[in-house]
Amino acid sequence: MQFTFAHNNFNVLNLEKSLAFYKEVLQLTEVRRYSPPDGSFIIVFLSDGQMPHQLELTWLKDRKEPYNLGDNEFHLALKVDDFAAAHALHEKMGCICFENKVMGIYFINDPDDYWIEIIPLKR
């Protein structure tokens, strides 16, 4: 028996805002979408175009209040080949929420305040 990663899920309040964020900030693109006939939710899968692992964004029609993310101790991490350019972009966009210069990493937060760790390709 072998298990492999498929996706991680983030529930979002504003799907279009989140899709625009992930496209602009991390170049993730939509690869699949599902919405039941009653329109009660929409699930969108995003991909980096290289790895099979995906990010699932779930929007729930009746959800109005922000999600409780606790202490934000869980996060998604992405490697980037041009760390300096990514940092400059994210700094310009104002989405860097924590930086650890000693470790050579930083975190950005998405519109729902999920944290995403940015790691240089080679450390």
Domain harbouring 89, CATH code: 3.10.180.10
Residue 87 confidence (pLDDT) above 90: yes
Q: Are 84 and 76 a contacting pair, CB within 8 Å?
A: no
Residues 2 and 58 in one domain: yes
Residues 1 and 53 in one domain: yes
CA 57 – CA 29 distance, rounded (Å): 12
Candidates 65, 59, 75, 81; CA nearest to 110 is: 75
Mean pLDDT of 70-98: 92
Residues 57 and 77 in one domain: no
For the question of residue 99 being annotated catalytic, the response is no
When divided into structural domains, the chain yields a total of 2
Confidence of residue 10 (pLDDT cuts 50, 70, 90): very high
Confidence of residue 16 (pLDDT cuts 50, 70, 90): very high
pLDDT of residue 72: 73
Residues 59 and 83 in one domain: no
Residues 14 and 56 in one domain: yes
Domain of residue 104 covers: 72-123
Residues 95 and 77 in one domain: yes
Q: Are 112 and 12 a contacting pair, CB within 8 Å?
A: yes
Residue 122 confidence (pLDDT) above 90: no
Residues 32 and 49 in one domain: yes
Residues 83 and 52 in one domain: no
- Residue of 16, 91, 99, 117 with catalytic role: 117
pLDDT of residue 38: 97
Tens digit of each residue's pLDDT (9 = 90 or more) over 47-62: 999 999 999 999 999 9
Mean pLDDT of 19-43: 97
Give the Cα-Cα-Cα angle 11, 1, 43 (nearest 5 degrees): 20
